[in-house]
Amino acid sequence: MKKGLIIIHTGNGKGKTTAALGVAFRALGHNLKVCMVQFIKGSWKYGELEAAKKFENFTLLPMGKGFVNLGSKEPDPEDIRLAGETLKKGKEALMSGEYAIVIFDEINYALSYNLIKIEDVLTMLKDKPQNVHVILTGRDANKFPELIELSDLVTEMKEIKHPYQQGISAQVGLEF
């Protein structure tokens, strides 16, 4: 049996979530089942939400009601509750062994913003079914050396240029 990998997409450049969606697209082509859970409300765009409906093997679990108040220093208790629920849903999908790949979108952000505990994530990853691949996306994964250590594949998206710098805003098909 092949080894289920722990994969991280981090860094400040664009492409962390789209790379995870690219892997999902590939796996779906092999009729494998993929589950993706979302830690930051609104981080999934219209395009991927609509496209996912076209694949019966692709389960997307959004974070639910509420929003993460990015501006405040202390995380909102409601955001902590929602992030905890999201982790629980993702963990259930992972532990069920039903999916070939489970994607935790923006989990690194949820960790660095103290919405969820690193210990809980590390325990989950250590206990996961051997053959299931996991993808963890979001900036600042390098704040958690144990997470990097436990992972098999870590890619840092590095911003060299971004159209935002030219004043070009989000465009259909590329950003949403």
Residues within the interface to Mg ion (CB under 5 A): 16-17
For ligand ATP, which residue of 4, 6, 8, 16 counts as binding (CB under 6 A)?
16
Interacting positions 113-172 with ligand ATP (CB under 6 A) = 137, 139, 157, 159, 162, 164, 170
Write the DSSP assignment of 90-123 as a string of letters: HHHHHHH---SEEEEETHHHHHHTTSS-HHHHHH
153-156 and 133-137: which strand pairing?
Answer: unpaired
Q: Per rule CB under 6 A, is residue 15 in the interface with ligand ATP?
A: yes
Q: Per rule CB under 6 A, is residue 13 in the interface with ligand ATP?
A: yes
Provide the H-helix boundaries in 128-172: 145-150
Q: Per rule CB under 6 A, is residue 41 in the interface with ligand ATP?
A: no
Indicate which of ligand ATP, Mg ion, none lies near residue 117 (CB less than 5 to 8 Å, by partner kind): none
Of 29 and 42, which CB lies nearer to ligand ATP in the complex structure? Answer: 42
DSSP bridge partners of 104: 37, 136
Q: Per rule CB under 6 A, is residue 175 in the interface with ligand ATP?
A: yes
CA dist 26 to 129, 149, 151, Å?
21, 26, 21
